[in-house]
Structure 1
Amino acid sequence: MENSSSEETENNNNEDTVQHLTKMIESRIAKYDNGNLSSGESRTKIGKMTEEESFFYQAVTRLSKLTEFPSASSSSSGSSSVLQRAMAFLEEEFRIILEDSRHDDDVAASPAVKNGTVTNSNRDDGGGDSPPPEEESYQPYPPEVVTRMNRIAHVMLSAGYETECCQVYSICRRNDFSKQIKKLELEKINTEDIHKTSWDCLEEEIMKWVRVSKICSKILFPAERELGEAVFSGHPMISRSLFSNLARAVVIQLLDFADAVAQTKRAAEKLFKFLLMYETIRDLIPAISDGCSDDFEHEIKSEILAVGDRIGEASLNIFCDLENSIKNDMAARNPVPGGAVHPLTRYVINYLKYACDFKTTLEQIFHKHANPGETSDTAAKPTSLFSAQVQNIMDLLDANLEAKSKLYKDPSLRLVFLMNNGRYILQKIKGSPEIHQVMGDKSYRKRSTVVRQFHKNYQRETWSKVLQILTHEGLQHHGKVAIPALKERFKTFSNMMDEIHKSQSSWVVNDEQLQSELRVSISAVVIPAYRSFVARFKQHLDGNTKHPEKYIKYQPDDIETLIEGLFDGNTTSMSRIRKN
């Protein structure tokens, strides 16, 4: 009998509490609604949650607990109705806060973007991704607003209104995310449009895509994950599910664009944009893995990897097509004027230089997609398939240049051509630590030795004949100088210098150091020999010839001037030399 009385008393107390909470909640809702009607303003105030609001959330939570096992009293249906009204009220409150309380309307205005956390990287000009300064996180809502949302979510989840709570949160965050993407100027492009778009225009779209994808990876996704975890603290499964659904929609949009680009026609100029896309796609995986549910993570990771593989395979094929470009250029039958650096050399070595800026990425792609049998079969074991391919391309270029050198009839010009191209390659390797690392010190030293040999061969080919004229052999007969032979020697020397100057002053050596080395080495052997020859034999002409200047056309200083005029790419006038 005592137990029955105790239960009855407890039920009465609960009913009194329910009635009290019901009236208080109704009063609070009415107050909000009346305020709205009179002011025409939103009922939500952005700022710290007031004590009254906090008490209201507590009341709703308590009412939901008391009505979870309702008594048979008549107040049960009334409290349930009030609870439903309270949930509808909180759902609307939640929506308003989500829609109207954002910290920044535009993610581009956030410190994280402004301070360089995300940059529009483009290594086509030899640059790259530099480490960002101290990173600042992007917060879509002020902390006090997040606290308010957390309280609302807690109340709704406690009352069993998980579906309503998650639905309004998901819709609002998806809409906001879509606005951010649109403001970053990434529009949905039809796959057919991509195939019809010119490369210049598509290149711009790719760079927009890269920037947006990086903002998503480094800023928006982490911020979204942190927001969900804060709003739904204590409910990790819910926050992970909400993040998964939002991230999937965004990632699929990004992947659709990348997949369509990967299927466009291959072209050499596309390689570096493709590699940027490959790196960007690769960075999407860790950006979403931490916040996604296990099932979703496996699914979306598979899709990301599939598109990444297609971009990687396209990049590999484009890079390996460089071989065909070199082989096809073998057919060119027009030598470069003046033995200058061939356009093919500039193209190939700069292409490789930029490719080596992506060394780590290309090594990863080669390791994953290349058939080892398709790469270089060099005697030296390469450190990677990518390095092997670079060496193979360089071997093809060397063979191509050797064939092109044979287009020059003059053996000396042929050697200048090989010297110019060899030095250009060495300077590019020296100036790029990335390509130097790929090719290795041994290869660099070998090339340097080859270029020095070209130099020696040129000097022997051109100037050994000149030096033979300046020997004393054949000029003396029975202890006397043969004047006719001496005249012929001076005349032959002058004519030979005229011919060399006429042809080789039009030859091109743009590398100032190489040009200086050539002139110095020539002067070092020719001028002393000629000075000695003139000093030894000039007196014999002075005493036996009326006009010795007819035969001694140049003084030793004139020879130096002639040599200084070589390899300028222009025929120097001889008048200034003759007047001196």
Structure 2
Amino acid sequence: MPRKGMRSLCFSPRTPSLSISRQSTSQSSASTNRRRFADSMIEQTIDAASSIIMKWDAETSAYAKVTSLFYESKREALQFIRSVNDLQKTMHLLVSDQESNSEKLVQAQILMQIAMKRLQKEFYQILSMNRAHLDPESVSTRSSLTSARSSTSDLDDDGSPDDEIRNAGNSITEIEEVSSMAMSDLKLIADCMIASGYAKECIHVYKIIRKSIIDEGIYKLGIEKMSSSQINKMDWDVLDLKIKNWLEAEKISMRTLFIGERILCDQVFATSDSIKESCFTDISKEAATLLFGFPELVAKTKKSPPEKIFRLLDMYSSISEDWQEIETIFSFESTSPVRVQALNSLVRLSESVRSLLMDFESAIQKDSSKTMIPGGGLNPLTISSMNYLTLLADYSNILADIISDWPPPVKSSLPASFLYAPESDDSSAPAISVRIAWLILLLLSKLDGKAKHYKEVSLSYLFLANNLQHVISRVRTSNLQYILGEEWIAKHEAKVKQFAANYERLAWGEVLASLPENQTAPITPGKAKDCFRKFNARFEEAYWKQSSCVIPDSKLRDEIKVSIGRKLVALYRDFYNTHKSTVGDERTARLFVRFSPEDIGNYLSDLFFGTASSGSSSTSSSVSSHNRRQMRSPLRV
């Protein structure tokens, strides 16, 4: 065969067997090249990682043992993290490659263990050394600090902010930067350790340090574990102080302690919801449950001083106001016991408040004191009851929530004459309005019974006027006015006017009756003398009887004085001016006409301060003394 034919046969691309052989050789060569390249990259990655990891191996380097990587060089710390991440990827390649070099895998694993030990130490150091900047208060107030810094920097250029503002701005910046840097470093380490399969070691360090901070914070706030028996054995004064302390501790805990820890957990472990939940729960659940368990213990105590209800309402208010924050901060399923405990405390507190309200109602109904208040003044029951109710009115929103589903009061225990209050029959009125109106109605009913113990009917009406006026005054000057409304106030003010009018009619009616119906009609001298004599006697008698009366409310006192004076002084002046000369000459007139109209007015001005010898706020001391001397003289005749 010619050489050319042989050549074309051997090298012709159309020869199938030779073509396949050549292609196979090419693929094998490419695979070998890729393999060599991959091995080279793996080796380079391991070598690079080994260089920086071994530098910071505390077991082999005295320098690494006493120095912090993240504090010494942030740039090198970032390089360390990148090398560990690259090493982790390389280990995945070695594990997945069936032809992998087992020696390289072992080497990578050893390096990874050394790196994780170093990162665990760094994590611990950052958490420990930054306690002041990673405390819950600092973390929770970062946003407010930023706002404060912005407001400081926004000051007008022409202005001259004082040094304190400048220093505060600088301090805020420093605190925020340190806190932010520490949190960033922690997140960097946590992400790396979790991705490398060392989440357990990272979480262990975090929980130990952060739980100690939360527990220490709760302890410093005065929250300690107590039993029901311990609470019951405490004097009320001691328990009251603990309640006040709890109220402050609850606010601080919710504003700083728990919200700060939740923020820190969320940021450090942002890549893992399960780790985030596990850390926050283990760190905070015990302390939060202890915090929200205290109100329930207090609500169960048997001690019931009058002020207890206000402390219970304070605690109820504190929890209910923070309820949204409680649900947000403790939103994890594993922290549900905290929400349950807070809810249980609310339930117990509301039950105890209802019970104390019933005790208050019962105390009014059972009051059996028959002691008559001198001068028809204020009964202690009126004062104490209204003090109690005005303080309750400050908690109207909370009370409305507590008694919203409480059955309406049973009215059968009251006399029929007291079942007139429209608010107690109004099914559309808020429960709080109905309940407060009912309690005042019970009080007024009890006062009505006490008024009957006075022998002088006029004094019983003055007693009712005084006490109802005090009730209205306390309503007017407290939140009760918004609970009861203007219609309630107007109706009871009209009742005071009725009581006052009845008092005037009974106490001063005979004095007015001693004057003739027509004061200016002509009468005989004898008749005039007789009228003056009767007026003198009845006015003196009425004055001395009423001189012991007291009207504490200045407005009511003035109204009654003006009302009596307008009638009595006006009628007597007409009679006096018309008939003074009728009785005879000046010497004779002195025997029968003992009071001028001005004298009557001055005497009236001295009334209702509780004693005939007391001074008057509406007259001078000289006039009052003169009047008293003039009054005593004829009475001794």
TM-score band by shorter chain is: 0.7 to 0.9
Which of these residues, 174, 185, 188, is aligned with residue 225 of structure 2?
188
What CA deviation, in whole Å up to 9, does each residue of 1:403-437 have, x standing for no partner? Answer: 111121112211111111111111111112x3112
C-alpha distance in 2 between matches for 1:317 and 1:243: 38
C-alpha distance in 1 between matches for 2:549 and 2:184: 77
Mapping of residues 302-451 of structure 1, within 5 Å: 302-329=340-367, 331-367=368-404, 370-372=406-408, 378-432=424-478, 434-451=479-496
C-alpha distance in 1 between matches for 2:91 and 2:85: 10
Q: Residue 371 of structure 1: CA displacement?
A: 3.6
Matched to 1:577, the amino acid is N
Residue equivalent to 2:45: 17
What CA deviation, in whole Å up to 9, does each residue of 1:373-432 have, x standing for no partner? Answer: 669993222522222211211110110111111121112211111111111111111112
Mapping of residues 448-467 of structure 1, within 5 Å: 448-467=493-512
Q: Residue 169 of structure 1: CA displacement?
A: 1.2
Q: Say whether the 8 Å CA contact 1:106–1:180 is kept in structure 2.
A: no
Matched to 2:131, the amino acid is R
C-alpha distance in 1 between matches for 2:314 and 2:265: 30
C-alpha distance in 2 between matches for 1:239 and 1:365: 36
Report the CA distance shift for 1:236/1:578 in structure 2 as closer, same or farther (over 3 A): closer
Matched to 2:429, the amino acid is T
Mapping of residues 22-171 of structure 1, within 5 Å: 22-30=50-58, 34-35=62-63, 43=68, 50-70=74-94, 71-103=100-132, 142-171=179-208
Work out which of the two has the higher radius of gyration on C-alpha atoms and give 1 or 2: 2
Q: Say whether the 8 Å CA contact 2:56–2:118 is kept in structure 1.
A: no
C-alpha distance in 2 between matches for 1:269 and 1:359: 16
Which of these residues, 302, 308, 312, is aligned with residue 274 of structure 1?
312
C-alpha distance in 2 between matches for 1:523 and 1:36: 100
Q: Residue 64 of structure 1: CA displacement?
A: 2.1
Mapping of residues 284-299 of structure 1, within 5 Å: 284-292=322-330, 294-299=332-337
C-alpha distance in 1 between matches for 2:177 and 2:611: 66
Q: Say whether the 8 Å CA contact 1:366–1:385 is kept in structure 2.
A: yes
Matched to 2:445, the amino acid is A
Q: Residue 274 of structure 1: CA displacement?
A: 0.5
Q: Residue 109 of structure 1: CA displacement?
A: 9.2
Q: Say whether the 8 Å CA contact 1:140–1:223 is kept in structure 2.
A: no
Q: Say whether the 8 Å CA contact 2:378–2:466 is kept in structure 1.
A: yes
Matched to 1:559, the amino acid is I
Matched to 1:163, the amino acid is K
* Partner secondary structure for residue 102 of structure 2: coil
Mapping of residues 495-574 of structure 1, within 5 Å: 495-543=537-585, 547-572=588-613
C-alpha distance in 1 between matches for 2:443 and 2:234: 33
Report the CA distance shift for 1:460/1:318 in structure 2 as closer, same or farther (over 3 A): same
Report the CA distance shift for 1:247/1:451 in structure 2 as closer, same or farther (over 3 A): same
- Does 2:516 correspond to 1:471? yes
Q: Which 10-residue stretch deviates more, 213-222 or 507-516?
A: 213-222
Residue equivalent to 1:120: none
Q: Which 10-residue stretch deviates more, 166-175 or 187-196?
A: 187-196
Which of these residues, 482, 487, 491, is aligned with residue 533 of structure 2?
491
- Does 2:301 correspond to 1:264? yes
Q: Say whether the 8 Å CA contact 1:339–1:507 is kept in structure 2.
A: yes
C-alpha distance in 2 between matches for 1:379 and 1:234: 61
Report the CA distance shift for 1:362/1:281 in structure 2 as closer, same or farther (over 3 A): same
C-alpha distance in 2 between matches for 1:306 and 1:510: 46
C-alpha distance in 2 between matches for 1:507 and 1:105: 69
Matched to 1:571, the amino acid is A
What CA deviation, in whole Å up to 9, does each residue of 1:250-307 have, x standing for no partner? Answer: 2210133222111101523211110111122334542243344542354432332122
C-alpha distance in 2 between matches for 1:109 and 1:227: 10
Matched to 2:435, the amino acid is Q
Q: Say whether the 8 Å CA contact 1:289–1:297 is kept in structure 2.
A: no
What CA deviation, in whole Å up to 9, does each residue of 1:178-200 have, x standing for no partner? Answer: 11222223333343211111111
* Partner secondary structure for residue 80 of structure 2: helix
C-alpha distance in 2 between matches for 1:239 and 1:494: 93
Mapping of residues 230-241 of structure 1, within 5 Å: 230-241=267-278
Q: Say whether the 8 Å CA contact 2:465–2:500 is kept in structure 1.
A: yes
- Does 2:600 correspond to 1:576? no
Q: Residue 455 of structure 1: CA displacement?
A: 1.6
C-alpha distance in 1 between matches for 2:62 and 2:410: 78
Q: Residue 353 of structure 1: CA displacement?
A: 1.6
C-alpha distance in 1 between matches for 2:255 and 2:411: 36
Q: Say whether the 8 Å CA contact 2:137–2:257 is kept in structure 1.
A: no
- Does 2:248 correspond to 1:207? no
- In structure 1, list runs of 5 or more residues that go unmatched: 116-135
Q: Which 10-residue stretch deviates more, 461-470 or 281-290?
A: 281-290
Q: Say whether the 8 Å CA contact 2:370–2:453 is kept in structure 1.
A: yes
Q: Say whether the 8 Å CA contact 2:374–2:549 is kept in structure 1.
A: yes
- In structure 2, list runs of 5 or more residues that go unmatched: 1-27, 95-99, 145-171, 413-418, 615-623, 631-637
Matched to 2:524, the amino acid is V
Q: Residue 35 of structure 1: CA displacement?
A: 3.4
CA root-mean-square deviation: 3.0
Aligned residues: 547
* Partner secondary structure for residue 13 of structure 1: helix
Q: Residue 54 of structure 1: CA displacement?
A: 1.2
Q: Percent identity?
A: 27
Report the CA distance shift for 1:498/1:480 in structure 2 as closer, same or farther (over 3 A): closer
Matched to 1:175, the amino acid is S
Report the CA distance shift for 1:101/1:321 in structure 2 as closer, same or farther (over 3 A): same
Q: Say whether the 8 Å CA contact 1:382–1:388 is kept in structure 2.
A: no
Q: Which 10-residue stretch deviates more, 517-526 or 236-245?
A: 236-245
Residue equivalent to 1:481: 524
Report the CA distance shift for 1:455/1:150 in structure 2 as closer, same or farther (over 3 A): same
Higher relative contact order (CA 8 A, sep 6+): 1
Which of these residues, 279, 291, 299, is aligned with residue 254 of structure 1?
291
Q: Say whether the 8 Å CA contact 1:266–1:318 is kept in structure 2.
A: no
